[in-house]
Amino acid sequence: MDRIRIVGGRPLNGRIPISGAKNAALPLMIASLLTDRTLTLENLPRLADVNQLMRILGNQGVDTSIDGKRKGEHEVAGQTAHLNARVIVDTTAPYELVSRMRASFWVLAPLLARMGEAKVSLPGGCAIGTRPVDFLLMAMEKLGASIDIDAGYVVAKAPKGLQGGEIDFPKVTVGGTHVALMAATLANGSTLITNAAREPEVVDLAECLSKMGARIKGAGTSEIEIEGVARLSGASHSVMPDRIETGTYAMAVAMTGGDVLLEGARGDLLQAALDDLVKTGAEVTQEEAGLRIRKNGGPIQPVDVTTQPYPGFPTDLQAQFMGLMTRADGVSRIRETIFENRFMHVQELARLGAHIHLEGDTAIVTGTQKLKGAPVMATDLRASVSLVIAALAAQGETVVSRVYHLDRGFEHLEKKLGACGAEVERLSAAE
């Protein structure tokens, strides 16, 4: 297994291209199951999760072709994929595949909407809390599906097709909103989703579905109305920039100091996190080419944050912000309200010399100037990148193992940081 070696202490200066958003790419790819026509997705990130989902969709009958690289194209430029689900060959998504990536459970909705049946494995355990799917199943039931659980599988049926209905989520759920939205596009009649997730990725999905002929109003607010249509057509859509990757590199610059242009990034997609970053002492400006982050010398101010559904501070940036706070000039409190058990990075950050104390859903971080490199282990996607942020400012060498967690969601991390002056390299398994 690959590892990443980082020697801390260098500022970051230069440009980092921001990739297409993983969390938008996955539901967009899944939406290809809704139509027998070709869905073309541009700016798809080159990530392990994207490749894995292509394999899962292939099992259902989706043919995918990826355009070759154009001459002179940047190494990290997004790829263009054409997904075609002309014939659905299998409405079952097996455990071996779904257990590797939670989001693949969402194939339930388009399979049910288009084929009237789906059998999808329950995703099983996950490193960040229990993460149930009860709201997703409730949403399908509200659209007239019958749901049974059999030997670890969700068996969903709607032999006469789905019917429009009212779906009121008891808690904001991104996945729940994605599946409700996809299923309702092909349901008979109109659907109202209340307490819908307002995340930009939901808006991106709704925009793509609208290009495919869906009739959707209100995406991006907590009330979404969908008027079902008989069929959807093909479309072409460009995946939005990754706001989590943007926030991650912004925090890295706030940590090391320097001046970096995050190319193609949109600050409006993560305003809450950027406001907090400014309070830590970084300078953030939106320019035409992207988002510019500057930090000169001075101390990192401690700032308290609480994770919230969009437009609040995103849970997917919590670990990275904690990484930054480990070096702040004082004490900060970081409260996680979305997921239980999303503090696995705390123990690993402690190996780098961080002072963090957990009290229920809150981490109390006492900043120190004495972070020191050490061997650490990646535990999940966001947790592992918080170790990278801390390592960039630690004295000496850090080696992060289990890098496959990083590869799930960060494209060419070592190249992007290395190009800005960080001392970082990938050690391949053999080394």
Q: In the complex, what is the shortest distance from the CB of residue 295 to ligand UD1, in angstroms, rounded to a whole number?
A: 26
Here the tokens at position 1 are 């297994």
Residue nearer to ligand UD1 on the CB measure, 141 or 423 = 141
Of 30-38, 64-72, 128-136, 286-294, which part binds ligand UD1 (CB under 6 A)? 128-136
How far apart CA 419 and CA 14 sit, in angstroms, is: 7
Q: Is 336 in the site for ligand UD1 (CB under 6 A)?
A: no
Please give the radius of gyration of the chain, using alpha carbons only, rounded to the nearest integer. 22
Q: Is 299 in the site for ligand UD1 (CB under 6 A)?
A: no
Q: Is 255 in the site for ligand UD1 (CB under 6 A)?
A: no
Q: Is 136 in the site for ligand UD1 (CB under 6 A)?
A: yes
If phi > 0 it is left, if psi is from -120 to 50 it is alpha, else beta; for residue 258 that is left
Residue nearer to ligand UD1 on the CB measure, 388 or 422 = 388
Distances (CA, A) of 172 to 178, 193, 336: 11, 11, 15
Q: Is 176 in the site for ligand UD1 (CB under 6 A)?
A: yes
Residue nearer to ligand UD1 on the CB measure, 381 or 393 = 381
Catalytic residue among 115, 126, 147, 427: 126
DSSP 275-304: HHHHHTT-EEEEETTEEEEEE-SSPPPP--
Residue nearer to ligand UD1 on the CB measure, 47 or 371 = 47
Here the tokens at position 49 are 């999760």
Distances (CA, A) of 70 to 16, 51, 425: 20, 20, 27
Here the tokens at position 145 are 């599906």
Q: In the complex, what is the shortest distance from the CB of residue 264 to ligand UD1, in angstroms, rounded to a whole number?
A: 20
In contact, 40 and 66? CB cutoff 8 Å: no
How far apart CA 385 and CA 424 sit, in angstroms, is: 13
Closest to 208 in 3D by CA, of 18, 76, 79, 33: 33
How far apart CA 393 and CA 371 sit, in angstroms, is: 7
Q: Which helix (H) or strand (E) holds 381?
A: helix 381-393
Q: Is 19 in the site for ligand UD1 (CB under 6 A)?
A: no
Q: Is 420 a catalytic residue?
A: no
Q: Is 315 in the site for ligand UD1 (CB under 6 A)?
A: yes
Q: Is 166 in the site for ligand UD1 (CB under 6 A)?
A: no
Q: Is 173 in the site for ligand UD1 (CB under 6 A)?
A: yes
How far apart CA 302 and CA 134 sit, in angstroms, is: 38
Closest to 179 in 3D by CA, of 126, 111, 233: 111
Q: In the complex, what is the shortest distance from the CB of residue 68 to ligand UD1, in angstroms, rounded to a whole number?
A: 28
Q: Say how many residues touch ligand UD1, by CB under 6 A.
A: 19
Q: Is 335 in the site for ligand UD1 (CB under 6 A)?
A: no
Here the tokens at position 51 are 């490749």
Q: Is 316 in the site for ligand UD1 (CB under 6 A)?
A: yes
Q: In the complex, what is the shortest distance from the CB of residue 396 to ligand UD1, in angstroms, rounded to a whole number?
A: 32
Q: At 66, is the secondary structure helix, strand, or coil?
A: strand
Of 170-178, 186-194, 371-379, 386-394, which part binds ligand UD1 (CB under 6 A)? 170-178
Stretch 89-108 residues interacting with ligand UD1 (CB under 6 A):
102-103
Residue nearer to ligand UD1 on the CB measure, 260 or 338 = 338
Beta pairing partners, 193: 167, 224
Stretch 193-252 residues interacting with ligand UD1 (CB under 6 A):
none
Of 82-90, 172-180, 224-232, 391-399, which part binds ligand UD1 (CB under 6 A)? 172-180
Of 167-175, 288-296, 355-363, 365-373, which part binds ligand UD1 (CB under 6 A)? 167-175
Q: In the complex, what is the shortest distance from the CB of residue 382 to ligand UD1, in angstroms, rounded to a whole number?
A: 8
How far apart CA 236 and CA 217 sit, in angstroms, is: 20
Residues annotated as catalytic (active site), given as ranges? 126
Interaction site with ligand UD1 (CB under 6 A): 23, 26, 102-103, 131-136, 171, 173-176, 315-316, 338-339
